[in-house]
Amino acid sequence: MSRRVIFFDIDGTLSTETDFTVPESTKKAIKLAQDNGHILMVNTGRTICIIEDVIKELGLDGYICGCGTNIYYHGKEIYHAKLPSELKKGIVNKAVELDIDAVLEGPESIYFPETIKTKTVQEIKERYSDIKVNVPVYYKDDEPNFDKFTAWYTPEDDIESFKDAFKDDLEYIQRAEDFIEVVPKDCSKATGIQTFIDLIGASIDDCISIGDSTNDLPMLTYTKESVAMGNSNPDLFDYVTYITTDIEDNGIYNALKHFNVI
């Protein structure tokens, strides 16, 4: 049996979305897969500081964070695509100027605007504070240490001017009517996979990706084998090579069993 490299989303894949717990069958499957010599990686849009302990306690081999911008393997950072200082300052100043609720995501901290307009962003800040994430405020001309960001806006906000200012450097992903995720050009969950396997000398033919939502499509369509959880958005089903059972119905265990990983 060849060594597989397996990439997992977090919410709805490794952990339940209702109470953020990891099923016992998932924990068992992870241990069996590692005992069999396979490499198991989280692949997430989150930066490392907002990956909860319940995920870190699983003992996976590493993390591809921030949509491919930052990679950790066996406890060490092995890749970091950093935004240029002038670009970071420009993003901060434009967000302040246009009064956009931009949440700047870095490896050590998540930065918030001085005045938060939207209820959702206020709730995000409170939730991160509750799990002991550092949540400093950014001001005009600051250069916080961040790799990607999200922006929440109202119909009155000039979001198009904001987007136009950085269109040559950034990619905008429309996550909801009032919410965009913003990453450096040419960074995604798919590029994160390629960067990682290049660094460790693995082949894309040995990779499996597992996810449950449309933001997982870049990795699900990139690897040779891919899995949609049974609880997935049904839009994924036409793009994957295998549909497993729900997360709480041994979904991860059954997926790894299907591919003879365990």
pTM above 0.85, yes or no: yes
Given strand 101-105, what is the order of strands in its sheet? Answer: 137-138, 110-113, 101-105, 148-152, 179-184, 170-176
Domain count, the chain: 2
Same-domain pairing of 45 and 118: no
Q: Could you report the per-residue pLDDT of 32-59, keeping only the tens digit for each?
A: 999 999 999 999 999 999 999 999 999 9
Domain boundary among 163, 184, 205: 184
Residue 39's domain comprises 5-80+187-258
> For the domain that residue 224 is a member of, what is the CATH number?
3.40.50.1000
pLDDT tens for each residue of 197-223: 999 999 999 999 999 999 899 999 999
pLDDT at position 2: 86
Same domain flag for 241 and 252: yes
Task: Give me the CATH number covering residue 143.
Answer: 3.30.1240.10
